[in-house]
């Protein structure tokens, strides 16, 4: 039984298709992050799960029950919003128990829940304050508390940290992670911040233009991106995508970058192709992350390339160097202790065990 299952879900606003045939499911206790640029439909999807938006096509199941026509309050979910959405006229206590009161829960049960949750979230000192008298972090805590007292099957988070400043955001992120580890409730979490997604999610679904691009573990998303969108979206700076073509003869496969002589062939035999037929002359993107370009040879497989550094960006613990590789820009990341001279030929090493290869026309991983 899946805690949440979405089948062939489509949604339009007027003539704009916001979600196209979404299929998604989550096992009990998992933490699913919906990640994507703004306007990709991730918040709409979350609102649909909550029952706040209608569906044009498809079905939403919670615990194998089709909830498409069930009211938000009866879906056994709780939601935390970006703006916290605390009721301004009520104090913290009233905010937290509002839902339970609507559900006609008994007074004893309400008190018990309130006590449990408020001490768990350390807001028991704040119960009589109004939201306007709370700091951003406290408001967020109360908003989470309001969701917790309902003891939902699924927690829905809609960019809960994006209104906080950088430091507080990291703190609250850790607290949400702790919360999930303690409670083990299923979570669906929307964000556009890849660090948040990586650190929180047990699964990440990357969305773009209303389509799920890849739904996988954080490790696979990072190391084996399904297509160039995912490769480009995740990682900072993002993955280098070098244009070029493959050359296959007998059992040797190698890559030649566009604009470089045929002699600089990068062997890609060890890459795990989905199918190794018809690869000769295939136009591709050769993907390698900036941190997988090394300053010296670390592994036996590392491939030596000649580069000229154009630009150096110092960012404290590391530096990002822009190179010119047969007229294509390539970024590499090194510790800032290494001294790199600009405009001078130098040798670098590609870690060929970490590369990704994408078809140039379909942009899919091959």
Partner 1 sequence: MSVNINTSYKQLEQKSKITNLMLRWFLYFVLILFASYFIFPLYVMIVTSLKTMEEIRQGTLLTWPSQLNFESWGVAWGGRGYGAGDTFLRPYFWNSIKMVVPAVFFSTFIGAMSGYVLTKWRFKGDKWVFLFLLFGCFIPYQAILLPMARTLGVLGISNSIIGLVVVHSVYGIPFTTLFFRNYYVSIPNELVKAARIDGAGFFKIFFKILLPISAPIIVVTVIWQFTQIWNDFLFGSTFSFGEAAPIQVALNNMVLSSTSVKEYNVDMASAIIAGIPTLIVYVLAGKYFIRGLTSGAVKG
Contact set with partner 1 (CB under 8 A): 47, 50, 52, 72-73, 77-79, 81-89, 98-99, 102-103, 131-132, 139, 146, 158
Q: Which is nearer to partner 1, 31 or 84 (CB)?
A: 84
Q: Which is nearer to partner 1, 103 or 338 (CB)?
A: 103
Residue 164 CB, nearest approach to partner 1 (Å): 12
Q: Which of 207, 107, 106, 188 is nearest to 147 (CA)?
A: 188
Residue 297 CB, nearest approach to partner 1 (Å): 54
Q: Which is nearer to partner 1, 77 or 266 (CB)?
A: 77
Q: Name the one residue in this structure whose structure tokens are 């768990």.
A: 120
Q: At what angle do helices 107-120 and 136-148 cross, to 10 degrees?
A: 140
Q: Any long-range contacts for 19-24 (C-beta under 8 Å, 24+ apart)?
A: 19/44, 19/45, 19/48, 19/210, 20/209, 20/210, 20/211, 21/58, 21/211, 22/58, 22/210, 22/211, 22/212, 23/212, 24/205, 24/212, 24/215
Residue 47 CB, nearest approach to partner 1 (Å): 7
DSSP result, 97-127: HHHHHHTT--HHHHHHHHHHHHHHTT-TTST
- Give the separation between CA 244 and CA 330, rounded to whole angstroms: 14
Query: Judging by beta carbons within 10 Å of its beta carbon (0-12, 13-18, 19+), is residue 178 exposed, middle or buried?
Result: exposed
31-35 and 203-208 strand pairing: parallel
Residue 145 CB, nearest approach to partner 1 (Å): 13
Token output for 26: 């989550």
Would you call 300 helix, strand, or coil by DSSP? coil
Q: Which is nearer to partner 1, 50 or 352 (CB)?
A: 50
Residue 13 CB, nearest approach to partner 1 (Å): 11
Q: Which is nearer to partner 1, 85 or 168 (CB)?
A: 85
- Give the separation between CA 94 and CA 169, rounded to whole angstroms: 26
Q: Which is nearer to partner 1, 88 or 335 (CB)?
A: 88
Residue 223 CB, nearest approach to partner 1 (Å): 36
Residue 45: CA atoms inside 13 Å, Cβ hemisphere, count? 38
Residue 130 CB, nearest approach to partner 1 (Å): 10
Q: Which is nearer to partner 1, 138 or 215 (CB)?
A: 138
Residue 98 CB, nearest approach to partner 1 (Å): 5
Q: Which is nearer to partner 1, 100 or 256 (CB)?
A: 100
């Amino acid at each position: 039984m899946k805690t949440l299952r979405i089948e062939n879900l489509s949604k339009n606003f007027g003539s704009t298709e916001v979600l196209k045939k979404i299929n998604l499911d989550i096992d009990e206790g998992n933490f699913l992050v919906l990640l994507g640029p703004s306007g990709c439909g991730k918040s709409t999807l979350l609102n649909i799960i909550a029952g706040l938006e209608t569906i044009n096509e498809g079905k939403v199941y919670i615990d194998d029950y089709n909830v498409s026509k069930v009211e938000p309050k009866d879906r056994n979910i709780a939601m935390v919003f970006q703006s916290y959405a605390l009721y301004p006229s009520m104090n913290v206590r009233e905010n937290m128990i509002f839902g339970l009161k609507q559900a006609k829960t008994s007074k004893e049960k309400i008190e018990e829940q309130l006590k449990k949750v408020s001490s768990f979230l350390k807001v028991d000192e704040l119960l009589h304050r109004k939201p306007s008298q709370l700091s951003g972090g406290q408001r967020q805590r109360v908003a989470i508390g309001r969701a917790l007292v309902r003891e939902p099957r699924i927690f829905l988070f809609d960019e809960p940290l994006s209104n906080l400043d950088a430091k507080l955001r990291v703190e609250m992120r850790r607290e949400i992670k702790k919360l999930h580890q303690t409670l083990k409730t299923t979570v669906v979490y929307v964000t556009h911040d890849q660090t948040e997604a990586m650190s929180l999610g047990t699964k990440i679904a990357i969305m773009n233009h209303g389509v799920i691009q890849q739904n996988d573990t954080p490790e696979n998303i990072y190391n084996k991106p399904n297509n160039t969108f995912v490769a480009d979206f995740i990682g900072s700076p993002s993955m280098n995508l070098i244009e070029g073509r493959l050359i296959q003869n007998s059992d040797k496969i190698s890559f030649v970058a566009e604009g470089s002589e045929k002699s600089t062939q990068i062997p890609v035999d060890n890459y795990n192709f989905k199918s190794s037929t018809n690869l000769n002359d295939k136009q591709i993107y050769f993907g390698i992350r900036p941190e997988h370009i090394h300053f010296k040879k670390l592994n036996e497989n590392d491939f030596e390339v000649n580069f000229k550094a154009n630009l150096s960006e110092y960012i404290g613990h590391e530096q990002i160097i822009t190179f010119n590789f047969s007229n294509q820009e390539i970024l590499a990341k090194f510790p800032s202790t290494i001294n790199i001279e600009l405009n001078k030929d130098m040798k670098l090493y590609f870690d060929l065990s970490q590369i990704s290869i994408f078809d140039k026309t379909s942009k899919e991983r091959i």
